[in-house]
Structure 1
Amino acid sequence: MNKQYIYIIILIFLISFGCKKEANSTPESISNKKELKSKKVVYQVFTRLFGNTNTTNKAWGTIEENGVGKFNDFTSKALKEIKELGVTHIWYTGVPHHDVITDYTKYGISNDDPDVVKGRAGSPYAVKDYYNVNPDLAKNPENRLEEFKALIERSHETGLKVIIDIVPNHIARNYQGLTNPKGVKDFGATDDKSVVYHVNNNFYYNPKEAFKVPIWEHDYSPLGKENHPLADGNFEEFPAKWTGNGSRLSQPNMGDWYETVKINYGISPDGRKDFDTLPNGFENESYKKHFEFWKDKTVPSSWEKFKDIALYWIEIGVDGFRYDMAEMVPVEFWSYMNSSIKMKNPEAFLLAEVYNPRLYRDYIKKGKMDYLYDKVQLYDTIKHIMQGYGKTDNIPPIQEDLKDIEHQMLHFLENHDEQRIASSGFAGDAKKGKPAMVVSATISTSPTMMYFAQEVGEDGSEETGFGDPTRTSIFDYVGVPAHQRWVNNKQFDGGQLSDEEKMLRDFYKRLLNFTINSSALTGAYQDIHLYNRKHTEGYNDKVLSFVRWSDMEKLVIISNFDSDNDYEFNLKIPKNIIDTWNLDKSKYKVEDQLYKQFSTDLIIENGVGEISVKINSLESFILKLQ
């Protein structure tokens, strides 16, 4: 789903700068959590683009013209290279069978109507069959599920955990399960279509009204105005169903998620919840208690269907899920679903899109999510800094605001919805992502996520058809040029990368491998930036600094976001940190852990530490106390 139309950017910073405590007293921001074993790193890969070596990139090009990657392209060598980048989990995006325009009728798969498909390759968030996988991704579409199972096995053999998408809020308008397990009926199969709503209907209806295709605007036509027999402005659906983004119109607008239909979770059109709610205080109970709570409850049909889908994939070997637009589904459902998953696999990795900070704690604690995107606070703030008009002063209050859930707020700089760092719409230069990535990956105990080809500076500039330049299209058949240079005719050795691209990938590899092996990054955090803004000459709002530590490791992290200027200053380490670290000598050596080419001294006088720093533009230091 193209989120540029539906992001509600909620920049809520609850901590004002004026009331921050000086860091010479013991602050609440020091974490006393039980240490984790290690940080996690998620590598999101758009599955059909990964192994595509075709460089044609014709707008609205067919699968034959522009090519497509396959499950089999993820060879043991390719997966080993991903793993060695410093990755622990791989998110295969676009795996469940979604609408596509390519003809697979000889495999018993019905053709999809371009009037309700976005792009030629289709949206991965308009799932057509949850019990099978995208036929585009298989060498033999008839054997597509077995090919994906083999990929899961190869991933596990490499040491990677596997994540796929589940999209509970909506499904494709023409959903058709061809390989349902015994006893599983399709969504809507038993619905009473004579009423707008019933608690056990899977959809909402407009009785006696037929669905109508949107009126196309801005000179748009499906498939780029190609003369296609099904692109006739008609799609048969009676009665009309409500659209995925909540539109109740029988003829949704072009900007609506017209290719999908909204799932009914037992919430009536006037907002009544026709299901049990969690008792007060139950957010503090374990997933086992949540599972027990729902065990004897009657829940709406849609709840059971999606729970069964999730458990089906867990049984096949998938290790976790990324949930699309989770906040559009009631939190009680997530308690039911996620507790069921955790009973089968306590280590399952459950990641959700939730963009409203007021809902974060409910979806983590009541909904039993492991992780949420930290988009509208950390990502948006860092993006503004990278673009040259934001201030690093805005970052410490975010960490303060989220300190009770910092581990659950997954960090990223790119994903399939967002602009590429190197694109003209974002930073225009992949190198501007380097200090941002150091901060994103080291400021908390949360997982780090990166999008494939981020590590080689892909700029997403291709005019592909439905998709917008600056993002790598998720709707079209396309090659990803910088990534293809790394793929190097499926040798997966970076043989065609430029020297600059090789250096960028080396940076990401060094950083991510450090993060997954650092005990300090699973330990405590304290901001020292605001302290230095008050006490350090030459230190400004283009630089950020903080400290991380465990019993075994103590780090001082400094990043310069300025692309034009180097800076020199004497960085101060507040007395409470010196005391907490039990530093009793006057001088300690500190050494950078990224490149091992810079070392200096931490000098302690009158209980306050000082490090002489000269930091180049877009440079970062991870200084380890020796």
Structure 2
Amino acid sequence: MGVNQHKLYSLKHLFCKSAVLLFILAGKPIYVLSQTAQPNMSNQKMVIYQLLPRLFGNKNTTNAFYGTLAQNGVGKFNDIDEKALNGIKELSVNYVWYTGVIAHASLTDYSRYGTPNSDADVVKGIAGSPYAIRDYYDVDPDLAINVENRMAEFEALIKRTHQAGLKVLIDFVPNHVARGYRSIAKPAHVVDFGANDDTTKSFSPGNDFYYLPGQKFVVPDIDKLKGPLDPLKDYQYTESPAKATGNNSFSAKPKDDDWYETVKLNYGIDYQNGEKTYFEPTPPVWTKMRDILSYWAEKGVDGFRCDMAEMVPVAFWKWLIPQLKQQYPNLVFIGEAYNPKAYETYLTQGNFDYLYDKVGLYDSLKTLIKNNADARSSAISDAVKSVKAYDDRMLRFLENHDEERIASAGFAGDPKLALPAMTVSATLGKGPVLLYFGQEVGEPGKGAEGFGGEDNRTTIFDYWGVPNHQRWMNDGAFDGAKLNEDEQQLRNFYKKLLQISTTNEAIVKGDFIEIPSAEINNPRVYAFFRISSGQRVLVIANFDRQQSFEAEITIPKEILKNQALSKQPQDALGAAPVKYLSENRIRVKLAPVSSQIIVF
């Protein structure tokens, strides 16, 4: 939706409701769009660094297709030492999201420790999916030097992370568990999922799972993968009666692209009878999940990234999160969410602190990064306005474990092509920004890893080494000595950008004022102000791969608080000079695929 320049918007916290600000860009008057801001969640902008311990500390470079742990190696909790954490902290990170910590289905055999390998018929990859949990009270034995001491090694990692001045996030996977879930590490009072279910009923408010009575589970036709796992698959996995699959498939034989390795948990919704709800009395899954989160919070975990949060009823989150925050007030809950129509409900009723801004800002930025013919900066404007009532609570990112690597052939090919988008993501709002490990050194996600395949992503299913990241890791020195010049420059850009975005008052807690793309008169340029009582910042991003952008901008005295511009307005990124023209007028010039953060 385009901006109606005749509509006047208020500047909350800065000016009275009747105030109208007039900007002049290249001689054209425009009105200003300002969001309705939510209160700050904290005084510090969150920068989250996501990593998989399985991959992060792995120094092995073999990278055999469908390689075993012995062939391809695996990272350990202990690899994430003080040097590694200090290297992460250089990026102004304050939260580390450890992905794949909780024990999940795998084909690696730990029978002598009470954890046999799972059945190959219902496991994706040799290492397995971190989102097919097989024991909510245990950690992945792959990640321990001493398997018998694995929980103590994770607790030591939590302590190291805190000592480095960082906080800990882990995944909470509430919607589904692995087929064959069985906890060997649960406290004595805990009853396993499904232990007391009436399996003769398709749905019962007292059951933990959904069943297909009278039907046996049939392994989907996954032999088309034709990989080294084939000899391990006998298509004889036994489950009777069959359980519903994690992505709400109520078929005894899931499709090969279903989440066939998981089973759906029952939160009191009868999906096969009009989604009728049974929330009173409290479903047993609710209390079990509350106890699981309390268990991890007690160990020092500071927050949870909640997988597929929208597949679990908002009533559960409304019930759960306040209880946990009463006991652990500083816990953070981040919801993976893809339905913009439900955002407000999950924030206001569900009590989430933050939600993904994927279907909105990420999707808009991706079209510009990829240089799609129909890409327009006005799409960013539309994305911003779509969440204007809760912009401060949206998590911005360009990479995570689900998305294509920027530097991959299927995305941008060159990580530098995403730097304007990263500038926008990091400075647009007060909410969190996420980095995925290796993003800051241009990891391209190349190679046919195994189940992950050649899909422009870094696998979450396989044992693998991540080459660009390994060069920064430098055999455990974590000093970047093996990075090439381009990779070093890229990491330095991320360091500078994130340092600005976490220390500049206007970006950390200021208001947002957009210069509409229609008035910039360039469909590949996006610009906005961030303004606080003590700082004024103008951010401009040029996504065009061929053309420079040059314009004169008059900054109203209302923005300057009736003070003249400094004669030396500075581009904090240091990429290009800003020319002083008069006490409230500057000339900017941006090279193709570049951005400026002008502080005045």
Instruction: Specify the code of the residue in structure 2 equivalent to 1:192.
Output: D
CA distance 1:367–1:423, change in 2 (3 Å):
same
Equivalent position of 1:479 in the other structure: 465
Q: Is the 8 A contact 2:32 2:515 kept in 1?
A: no
* Count of aligned pairs: 574
Of 74, 78, 87, the match for 1:72: 78
Do structure 1's residue 359 and structure 2's residue 359 form an aligned pair? no
Q: Is the 8 A contact 1:33 1:523 kept in 2?
A: no
* Alignment of structure 1 residues 419-498 onto 2, 5 Å: 419-469=404-454, 470-498=456-484
Helix, strand or coil: the match of 1:570?
Answer: strand
Alpha-carbon shift at residue 474 of structure 1 (Å): 0.4
Tell me the C-alpha RMSD between the 2 structures. 1.8
CA distance 1:586–1:592, change in 2 (3 Å):
closer
Equivalent position of 2:593 in the other structure: 618
Q: Is the 8 A contact 1:38 1:519 kept in 2?
A: no
How far apart in 2 are the matches of 1:581 and 1:368? Answer: 37
Q: Is the 8 A contact 1:423 1:461 kept in 2?
A: yes
Alpha-carbon shift at residue 207 of structure 1 (Å): 0.9
Equivalent position of 1:556 in the other structure: 538
Unaligned runs of 5+ in 2: 9-20, 23-29
Do structure 1's residue 196 and structure 2's residue 202 form an aligned pair? yes
Q: Is the 8 A contact 1:191 1:203 kept in 2?
A: yes
Q: Is the 8 A contact 2:517 2:525 kept in 1?
A: no
How far apart in 2 are the matches of 1:234 and 1:112? Answer: 13
Equivalent position of 2:234 in the other structure: 232
How far apart in 2 are the matches of 1:32 and 1:212? Answer: 51
Alpha-carbon shift at residue 344 of structure 1 (Å): 1.7
Alpha-carbon shift at residue 212 of structure 1 (Å): 1.0
Structure 1 residues 524-577: Cα deviation after superposition (integer angstroms, max 9, x where no partner): 0000143642xxxxx51111110001111110111111223322222344x4xx
Structure 1 residues 409-464: Cα deviation after superposition (integer angstroms, max 9, x where no partner): 10000000000000011111100111110001101111000100000000001111
Do structure 1's residue 29 and structure 2's residue 11 form an aligned pair? no
Helix, strand or coil: the match of 2:259?
Answer: coil
Alpha-carbon shift at residue 617 of structure 1 (Å): 1.7
Instruction: Specify the code of the residue in structure 1 equivalent to 2:464.
Output: V
Instruction: Specify the code of the residue in structure 1 equivalent to 2:293.
Output: A
Equivalent position of 2:550 in the other structure: 568
Structure 1 residues 220-254: Cα deviation after superposition (integer angstroms, max 9, x where no partner): 24x534423xx211111111100000000111110
Q: Is the 8 A contact 1:169 1:325 kept in 2?
A: yes
Equivalent position of 2:123 in the other structure: 117
Q: Is the 8 A contact 1:587 1:603 kept in 2?
A: no
How far apart in 2 are the matches of 1:486 and 1:563? Answer: 28
Alpha-carbon shift at residue 20 of structure 1 (Å): 6.5
CA distance 1:252–1:586, change in 2 (3 Å):
closer
Q: Kindly, what percent of the aligned residue pairs are identical? A: 45
* Alignment of structure 1 residues 130-145 onto 2, 5 Å: 130-145=136-151
How far apart in 2 are the matches of 1:30 and 1:216? Answer: 48
Of 556, 577, 582, the match for 1:603: 582
Helix, strand or coil: the match of 1:165?
Answer: strand
Structure 1 residues 132-181: Cα deviation after superposition (integer angstroms, max 9, x where no partner): 10011111111111100000000000011000001100000110100101
Of 306, 309, 327, the match for 1:323: 306
Helix, strand or coil: the match of 1:589?
Answer: coil
Structure 1 residues 303-346: Cα deviation after superposition (integer angstroms, max 9, x where no partner): 01111101110001000000111101100001111112211222
How far apart in 2 are the matches of 1:52 and 1:93? Answer: 15
Structure 1 residues 22-41: Cα deviation after superposition (integer angstroms, max 9, x where no partner): 76387561556656512110
How far apart in 2 are the matches of 1:600 and 1:549? Answer: 21
Instruction: Specify the code of the residue in structure 2 equivalent to 1:274.
Output: Y
How far apart in 2 are the matches of 1:405 and 1:32? Answer: 7
Instruction: Specify the code of the residue in structure 2 equivalent to 1:67.
Output: G
Equivalent position of 1:499 in the other structure: 485
Is 196-205 or 522-531 further displaced after alignment?
A: 522-531
Q: Is the 8 A contact 1:325 1:352 kept in 2?
A: yes
Instruction: Specify the code of the residue in structure 2 equivalent to 1:459.
Output: P
CA distance 1:396–1:602, change in 2 (3 Å):
farther
Helix, strand or coil: the match of 2:593?
Answer: coil
Instruction: Specify the code of the residue in structure 2 equivalent to 1:530.
Output: S
How far apart in 2 are the matches of 1:612 and 1:526? Answer: 19
Equivalent position of 2:564 in the other structure: 585
Unaligned runs of 5+ in 1: 1-14, 277-297, 534-538
**TM-score between both structures, scaled by the size of structure 2:** 0.93
Of 92, 95, 100, the match for 2:101: 95
Alpha-carbon shift at residue 580 of structure 1 (Å): 3.9
CA distance 1:587–1:163, change in 2 (3 Å):
closer
Instruction: Specify the code of the residue in structure 2 equivalent to 1:250.
Output: A
Alpha-carbon shift at residue 501 of structure 1 (Å): 0.1
Instruction: Specify the code of the residue in structure 1 equivalent to 2:197.
Output: D
Helix, strand or coil: the match of 2:355?
Answer: strand
* Alignment of structure 1 residues 82-481 onto 2, 5 Å: 82-216=88-222, 219-221=224-226, 224-228=228-232, 231-268=233-270, 269-270=272-273, 271-275=275-279, 298-389=281-372, 390-469=375-454, 470-481=456-467
Is 16-25 or 298-307 further displaced after alignment?
A: 16-25
Q: Is the 8 A contact 2:357 2:396 kept in 1?
A: yes
How far apart in 2 are the matches of 1:206 and 1:523? Answer: 54
Equivalent position of 1:38 in the other structure: 44
Is 611-620 or 438-447 further displaced after alignment?
A: 611-620
Is 20-29 or 400-409 further displaced after alignment?
A: 20-29
Instruction: Specify the code of the residue in structure 1 equivalent to 2:192.
Output: D
How far apart in 1 are the matches of 2:258 and 2:486? Answer: 41
Q: Is the 8 A contact 2:474 2:480 kept in 1?
A: yes
**TM-score between both structures, scaled by the size of structure 1:** 0.89
Q: Is the 8 A contact 2:474 2:482 kept in 1?
A: yes
Equivalent position of 2:27 in the other structure: none
Instruction: Specify the code of the residue in structure 2 equivalent to 1:241.
Output: K
Structure 1 residues 180-200: Cα deviation after superposition (integer angstroms, max 9, x where no partner): 012101100000101111101
Equivalent position of 2:14 in the other structure: none
Q: Is the 8 A contact 2:407 2:413 kept in 1?
A: yes
Q: Is the 8 A contact 2:576 2:589 kept in 1?
A: no
CA distance 1:254–1:33, change in 2 (3 Å):
closer
